[in-house]
Amino acid sequence: MSDEIRLIEVKEEIFADNRKVADDLRKRLQKERTLLLNLMASPGAGKTSLIVKTIAGLSNEIRLGVVEADIDSMVDAETVVKAGVPAVQLRTGGFCHVDASMVNKGLEGLDIKDLDLVILENVGNLVCPAEFDTGAHRNVMILSVPEGDDKPLKYPLMFSICDVLIVNKIDYMDFSDFDIEKMRSRVLRLNPDIEIIPVSCKSGAGIENWLDWLRSLISDQGG
């Protein structure tokens, strides 16, 4: 009976189509000299908090916009707008990730010609977002101290595809058994080229290091 059933592999076709859209989007953004960052993390790790800190630190230096993605709700977009920059909310419904077509749709609500940097806050989880190219120039992820130092062992793909790892909530370090050197060793085995930046969005510790990385990236791109 199984010999009579035609099997169609749709996943690879979806990925191939998405890569084409993502490549075209990167080229368009490059032409406009607008950088796109894909920010990923678990729920509660501090994505929106980091974006707000970034706005506060760079809004006088660069033109910044944000694309927020959530299964539902507009809370994060409202927070970003209150912080003083334009934002678009992508409501993904049941989707646990954002792909390049969705990002294209979101960017229609921003005038990218007037922006140096767009931050995409991806849907909160460490699985699906790692599989889809969003068209971003760089991938950034946040690991918060309360999540534990073993996450690179559980979600290796996410750590492998990112250019920067933000270790947030370092102010919790004294109240946790989180071993940052053990975590660093695990991450570097997966991705020797990743930049690791410990921060606290609550106290502001390390945020300037993150902002300096962004400044350097924008400068290198001619922003």
Residue 167 to residue 174: CA distance in whole angstroms: 14
Say what the pLDDT of residue 10 is: 45
Residue 87 to residue 6: CA distance in whole angstroms: 45
Beta strands in the chain (DSSP E): 35-41, 64-70, 87-91, 117-121, 138-144, 164-168, 195-198
Give residue 194's Cα distance to chain centre: 14
| pLDDT of 54 higher than 90 | yes
pLDDT bracket for residue 14 (50, 70, 90): low
pLDDT in tens, 146-164: 999 999 999 999 999 999 9
| pLDDT of 3 higher than 70 | no
Q: Identify the residue with better confidence: 135 or 10.
A: 135
| pLDDT of 7 higher than 50 | no
Q: Which residue's entry shows tokens 């492998």?
A: 160
pLDDT > 70 in the chain, percent: 91
pLDDT in tens, 114-134: 999 999 999 999 999 999 999
Per-domain residue ranges for the chain? 12-220
What average pLDDT does the segment 8-33 reach? 80
- Superfamily (CATH H level) for 12-220: P-loop containing nucleotide triphosphate hydrolases (3.40.50.300)
pLDDT bracket for residue 223 (50, 70, 90): very low
